[in-house]
Structures are given as C-alpha cells and as structure tokens.
Structure 1
Amino acid sequence: MPQQPQPEREFAMRFTSTPRGARLARRLVAHRLDEWGHPYTAPSNEALALITAELTANAVLHGHIPGRDFHLRLTLAEDALRIEVTDTCAEKHLPATFSAPDSMSESGRGLLLVAALADDWGVTPRRAAPGKTVWAELRVWAEGRPQTHLTGLD
C-alpha cells in the first residue's frame, strides 16, 4: 500500500456504534470541513458528508459488535480529503463487483454512492486488532471544489 502524505489537518474521534453516533459523525465532519475552508454548501463538503453518512451507517449496521465503538478519521493532505471509518468486525461485507439493487429494495445502494462520489475508496484490515477500515478520498482544488464529475452537487 502506498505511503499516505502527511496530513495538513486532521480530525479523529471515537463514536458509539449507534444511529445517533453515525449522525453525530456526519455532522462533525461537515462542521470540520467548513472550518477548514470547505463551506457546508460546497460540493466537497456535501460529497464527503454523504460518504461519511454511508460509511458510518455501514459501520453501525454491518460492523457493529456490542460494546464496541467505531472510529472516524478525517484528513486533509495536499489536494485530497480522506475519510476513514474503522469498526471492530473483521468480516468484509464488501462485494467484489457492484450491481444495481432491485428497484423495490430499500437497501444496497450505499457503496454504489460512495464509489460514485469518491475518487478512490477501499477497505483495509485493522492493524492492531480485529476489524477493518473503510476509507474514501476526494480530490479537491484549493477553493474546495472537487476535481471530479460532481456537477450534480453544484
């Protein structure tokens, strides 16, 4: 795995593995991005808030082990924002390929959304303990606009 650049800014926090913890994580990420010069209405903030919502919801729904929290880390390094969500469930519930869920299905679209919004994403095993980290990166220009095809979020 390539070495990650040293972050210019970093926010990290542990959250309860509950829907309330997932909502709080998303709100704090949006707030921190606003403080870092990516306003709430900027496409980069909106995209990363959506990605955070999906990854934290998955950590709560699929990576939850009773009594264990999930950890979130947000970094800004060079021209990229990176979000990492670590849970304590060692099983990878990530399919090798994605297909659109049945139109009547109420779930199954979260990682499709992450893949569409992020410039890169993946999963890595947790180093020191059981679990995994699901991460996503979004490349941005200095003024906070994504460098990708996120025109629908303008």
Structure 2
Amino acid sequence: MNEQISTLRIPARQFCVPLSATRRGARLGRLLATEQLRAWGLPLDPARLIVAELTANAALHGRVPGRSFRLTLSVVAPRLLRVEVADTRGDHLPVLRAAEDEAAESGYGLYLVEELADRWGVRSGPSPCKTVWAEIDLAGPSAHFAPEPGSG
C-alpha cells in the first residue's frame, strides 16, 4: 500500500452545489447558502445578498443551454468567507456599468457586490468557464449579523 500525505490545503468548511442555470436554480442557491451559513453559525448578511446577485447573474448572463452553474461557499481563513459562482460562459465577463448609463434597466447588481464584499473579482478558466468570486471578512465592518427567525 502506498501511503502519502496530501499537501493540498482544503478549507475546513466548504459547501459546493451544482445548480440549473435558471431563475429557480438561482433562488435555490440563495436558499441553500442561507441554510449553510446558519449551520456554520455565520452571519447571513451580506453573504446571502452577494449569493443572490451572483447566482442571478449566472442564470441570466452565464447561461448555456444544458449546462449548470456551481455555487461554492468556503471559510478559507478563521474569519474569511469566500463565495464563488462558476458558469460556462467564460467569453461573457461581468462589467460594472457606467453610473451615467441611466437608460439601462439592469446591470447595477455588481455595484451591490462591490459595496457589500471586501474584495471581488473574476477568474477565467478552465475553458470555457469563469468564476466570479467575492470575499467577506467576517470580523470586518461588512459583517452584519442577522437575527435568527423568531429571536427578536
């Protein structure tokens, strides 16, 4: 028997789920993320708002017929939550709309992500995929603890 110790650094807490690239899949992602955050004892906001925006974007802008997207939540440091949404539209990268573009009816959700996350960005690959990620410092000013239902 060949025994080797893996040197891969796997987060102590990780949740990963494939979801259909539909409105229903985006909603399910938000609900599952909320329940996972509760199970981990982590603050619900702003993470669930970020998840809602990123999963909605994956279902709307990252949709490829017959392909799903993936939602991953990871606690990558003692007080750092990373949200990742990967889809198969690597050719369609998210962009912040110009503030002067008042005629646009959509496209402002990434401003919400930018305001709520401590850091966010896009990682390309493996082809044809892209991953939009956001990090939340749970001990920082963006961490808002939401009361549990029925506790207030």
Q: TM-score, normalised by structure 2?
A: 0.81
Q: Which has the higher helix share?
A: 1
- Cα deviation, 1:76-97, whole Å, max 9, x if unaligned, reads 12210011000001113323x6
Query: Are the aligned partners of 1:74 and 1:81 in contact in 2 as well (CA < 8 Å)?
Result: yes
Shift of 1:11: 0.3
The reply on whether 1:10 has 2:14 as its aligned counterpart is yes
**Matched position secondary structure for 1:20:** helix
CA RMSD of aligned residues (A): 2.3
Measured in 1, the distance between the counterparts of 2:67 and 2:100 equals: 30
Shift of 1:109: 1.0
Distance 1:93 1:49, change over 3 A: same
Query: Are the aligned partners of 2:61 and 2:92 in contact in 1 as well (CA < 8 Å)?
Result: no
Measured in 1, the distance between the counterparts of 2:111 and 2:28 equals: 23
The reply on whether 1:87 has 2:91 as its aligned counterpart is no
**Matched position secondary structure for 2:67:** coil
**1:62-141 matches, cutoff 5 A:** 62-77=61-76, 78-95=78-95, 98-100=97-99, 102-103=101-102, 105-127=104-126, 129-141=127-139
- Alignment correspondent of 1:33: 37
Q: Give every structure 1 segment of 4 or more consecutive aligned residues whose post-TM-superposition deviation is greater than 4 Å.
A: 101-104
Measured in 2, the distance between the counterparts of 1:24 and 1:109 equals: 22
| Gap regions ≥5 residues in structure 2 | 1-8, 148-152
Q: TM-score, normalised by structure 1?
A: 0.80
- Cα deviation, 1:51-72, whole Å, max 9, x if unaligned, reads 0111011111111010000011
Query: Are the aligned partners of 1:7 and 1:75 in contact in 2 as well (CA < 8 Å)?
Result: yes
Measured in 1, the distance between the counterparts of 2:89 and 2:12 equals: 30
Larger radius of gyration: 2
Q: Percent identity?
A: 44
- Alignment correspondent of 1:144: none
Shift of 1:47: 0.7
